Amino acid sequence: MAYLWCDTDDAIRSWLADLAPGSPVYLDTEFMRERTYWPQLALVQVHDGQSIRLIDTTRVSAEALSPLFQAHTLVMHACSEDLEAVAAFTGHYPARIEDTQIAAALGGEDMQLGYQKIVQMLMGVELPKGATRTNWLKRPLSDEQLHYAEDDVKYLPEVAAQLHDRLAELGRLPWWQEECDRLLAQASKEEKPEKAWRSVKGAALLPDHARAALSVLAPWRNRMARERNLPKSFVIKDAQLLELARANRTDRGMLADVGLHPKCIRRDGEALLALLEEGRTVTPPPPLPGPPDAREKKLAKTLRGKVGQVAEQVGLKPDVLMRRRWLEALIRHPERVPEPLTGWREDIITKPLLELL
């Protein structure tokens, strides 16, 4: 199947006008984000069931392409990063998705099964991986990149059809819909500023005063990264953020002592010192949960055994049925069941584990 190259709004609008509303489209994206906060969408590959289009998002407008993401079900494989790239380009997350990696997991395969592996498994076709890390924003794209991009959706309709049939036979199509809805909701959920400190590596080891300082430093860094469209580490690295939070001094010399670049100090020094002063006045947030204690480890071992038994009975990998963090949360707070353990998992595994607890 030969692909069609699309790099004008008129071509996009003409094609979309002929697609049946709500029909599935099989999609993948290529994007770059090594030096930016927001992913830069470079290419959208779409198989509409009849033909493949490679859409040059460096040339077409978000306005012309947005209806594709809102009026159709997007069938993708391992799509969490693709969703973010689409949202950065159009300003909106897609309306409906079906993730074939999730479908494969619910059919009994590994939770992180890659696209190349599933194509080989279901279609007997071995796909090359050479163009994965190339520069997708550079034009013109090489023949290797173009064929790689085409392959990313060429087999997706057949892969999706086989997985759909498998889940239908198992009675698990509602599970698939639930998991895809959950993935989309999680992707579009904005991080609360007051929780930004929790994602800083090493935050769990901070004492109270440093945790209070980090709780005001981390939201500021996130905001600066978005406004400047830079990776968070380009604003201030995690290790430097921790050193600032631990510091007992609030002077410009301290900023240099923790390793901040002179340019960073000139640009952000006054703001950082003001934030550290503010951090001295706020109540520290509760610490992050520590490692499991002896009692919790013993319970976790017992419950993991039950998870393994149930997973074997229903033909799922244990980590598809129960993630480690969900299990630890259930042990510590059985009265607060994690949201993923509701829905289809509730009767199969959540209730049996609560009974054991």
Known catalytic residues are 28, 30, 82, 148, 152
312 alpha-carbon distance from chain centroid: 28
Q: Specify the 3-state DSSP secondary structure of 29.
A: strand
Q: Which of 237, 306, 250 is nearest to 280 (CA)?
A: 250
Number of Cβ within a 10 Å radius of residue 78: 17
Residue 352 CB-density burial (10 A; 0-12 exposed, 13-18 middle, 19+ buried): middle
Lookup: tokens for 331: 């042990």
Q: Which of 11, 46, 16 is nearest to 29 (CA)?
A: 46
Alpha-helix residue ranges (DSSP H) falling in 91-130: 100-106, 115-123
Contact 234, 225 (CB under 8 A): yes
317 alpha-carbon distance from chain centroid: 21
Lookup: tokens for 239: 């290790």
Lookup: tokens for 255: 């900023």
